[in-house]
Amino acid sequence: MPDQTTGAGKKTAGAFDIRNIIGLLLGTYGVILLLAGLFGDKALDKTGGVNANLWTGLALVVASVVFLGWARLKPIVVPEEVAKAGDDPTRPAPRRRTSGH
Amino acid sequence: MSHLALAVPAATPLIDATWLDYLLVVIYFGFVLGIGFLARRSVSDSIDFFLSGRSLPAWVTGLAFISANLGAVEIMGMSANGAEIGLPTVHYFWVGAIPAMLFLGVVMMPFYYGSKVRSVPEFMFRRFGTGAHLVNAISFAVAQLLIAGVNLYLLGSIVHALLGWPLWVALIVAAAIVLSYITLGGLSAAIYNEVLQFFVIVASLLPLTLIGLHRVGGYGGLKDKIAAFADSAPAAAKVAPAGQQLESWPGQALSGFSSGTLSVIGIVFGLGFVLSFGYWTTNFVEVQRAMASKSISAARKTPIIGAFPKMFVPFLVILPGMVSAVLVKEMVDLKGGGHPAGGASGEGVKYNDALLLLMRDILPNGLLGLAIAGLLAAFMAGMAANISAFNTVFSYDLWQRYIRKDHSDDYYLRIGRLATVAATIIAIFTATIASSFSNVMDYLQTLFGFFNAPLFATFILGMFWKRMTATAGWVGLSSGTISAVIVAFLSEDAFGSASLGVLPLSGQGASFVAASTAFVVDIVVSVLVTMVTEPKPASELKGLVYSETPKEDLVDPDEASQPWYQRTMPLAGIALVMVLILNFAF
């Protein structure tokens, strides 16, 4: 990728990292289900004898750690160049605001 | 302990949820709205709002690509089909989606992304001018409103089933939540929520599938139970024979054709080629996700990366449906020809209830809440996808091009938000219409046949045949759509009681034939009209037609230096091989 930045055209649309949000949500769910599996009604008659909350909770906590770890290890790269729409002569205006306002 | 249910006195809830389940649902909504607020900070102009600033990585847009489609219709509709006809339902995925998604990424995306259009109808405008553009933009916008209504109806009906709220209250509350996060964050919020939704769906449906299979004694046990059921069911119930329910081919239970050969042809050509290519390659709801990615390479990889999880979605929606049909008392009764009372609609159990009833029967509280959150997520995301595509087409393709040109960017951003509000209100009304259709899948397939099949014919001709004229574009499109409508009217039940029954076609088979007719008529008419009209000058076709576009404009120069697993073609090849293997395995 070319190494030139385009001044104020540099975008932060991806600034909040979706991986952290996924990790946080799955982690929250995982912990709640783990607790429910340990202390709540296991409803073994429904699940056929498996502590479903416990196992799902464990799996979710693992998934959560993976996402948070991924986001930590490879932080999001804000794209250096973003293709501008607005070079279509057939399109009625407006011309897009130029960068650097 | 259900405080929420106490606050709103109404019908008996279908599912016995506790405070734990509500907690999980409430947490999800907190995240959804949080994303809307976070995304709002980064929306500064209309490109941000409508196309996410073209900045997202391929795995995000790829997951959003399939999540946009993994809405209420897919989850409830496909599990309903699974319960009713069993394994042949997989054709909607392995034949009816993957090949077209790969084709979109490999062949068509370079034109969409490379020409820098902001929507699929805008591509239509540049290739064929006003006529085809209007036909495409208006039919798309109307279809999105209808489908958003269907999604909203299903969303409302599950809230109704869950909390016992009256349907109209559920519709309005659900619509208000979708509205708030799209108007706040635009496409970024919609896409991020779709990605989040994908994981919540998997987290909820995977345990449901596994526990369900455990309860019936594994996949072998499921097969035995379905076979025993098919053998003992009364003839009047018209249960498909076990062989048809447990083998994906030739899929007569799905196509409704009595001949196995015709059924294979119908599925491969009607569903696999015409319906699915029409849907996946021209539907702006899907293509918009790819357009939001950061490079032409990421745009091409969007549907291809999406194809991998898409291959395995049937195991999460169809298998629970099949389990439900042998495990849940009401479903067994329904499939055996009975009319059990209850169900989400309150008018008796329907196949669409298969998943909800299975959840009720086998999930412990806690996991139940997660499953409810997953379903609500899917339904909202489906509707949000329709509405965010609608507001783009409405603002750019209809309002800006034909009604108010040359205003400021802020002005169109405002129009986009107003269009979102209007679309949501219209969807509430559409939802009440959708509630009178029992088989949602049929209703939608019928619509896709009308709008999408001729579109694909026109696009593919237009992209590879430079002589094709502007007049041929709109005439072909209109005649194709009209021919599909005519076939549907002549069939036995494509339009329900309005169909005349002249042609011996019913169910999905009628949709396949209507779509195929539209495709053939579009091609023939386009070729004929092109012969007698004046083509566009070649200079105007650069970036739009294969032969007039420099090859280097269609690929990403950076891609050659990337490892193979990040390149478009090797990924597409792997996906194709995997889906072939799946077809042989089941």
Q: How many CA atoms lie within 13 A of B394 on its CB side?
A: 22
Q: Which segment of A96-100, B200-204, B355-359 scores lowest on mean pLDDT?
A: A96-100
Choose the closest CB to A32 out of B23, B214, B362: B23
Contacts of A74 in chain B (CB under 8 A): none
Choose the closest CB to B196 out of A25, A50, A59: A25
Residue A75, preceding peptide bond in cis (omega within 30° of 0): no
Decide: helix, strand or coil at residue A99.
coil
Give the span between the Cα atoms of B44 and B27, in whole angstroms: 28
Note which residues in 32-61 of chain A have CB less than 8 A from chain B.
32-33, 36-37, 40-43, 46-48, 50, 52-53, 55-56, 59-60
Q: Dihedral sign for Cα A61, A63, A65, A68, please.
A: negative
* Cβ–Cβ below 8 Å for B53 and A50: no
- How much is the pLDDT for B525? 94
Mean pLDDT of B23-31: 90
The pLDDT tens digits for B72-82 are 778 888 898 88
The pLDDT tens digits for B255-301 are 777 777 777 887 888 777 877 888 888 888 888 888 878 788 888 88
Give the span between the Cα atoms of B11 and A94, in whole angstroms: 53
Q: What ipTM, to 2 d.p.?
A: 0.81
Delineate the domains of chain B, giving CATH numbers in brackets. Answer: 3-400+411-438+556-585 (1.20.1730.10)
Contacts of A47 in chain B (CB under 8 A): 211, 214-215, 362-364
Q: How far is A73 from chain B (nearest CA, A)?
A: 16
Under the banding of pLDDT at 50, 70 and 90, the label for residue B443 is: low
Residue-averaged pLDDT of chain B = 81
- Using CB atoms within 10 A of its CB, is residue A75 exposed (0-12), middle (13-18) or buried (19+)? exposed
Q: Which residue has the higher pLDDT, B394 or B190?
A: B394
Q: Is B40 on the interface with A (CB under 8 A)?
A: no
Contacts of B60 in chain A (CB under 8 A): 18
Which percentage of chain B shows pLDDT scores above 90? 10
Choose the closest CB to B24 out of A32, A55, A91: A32
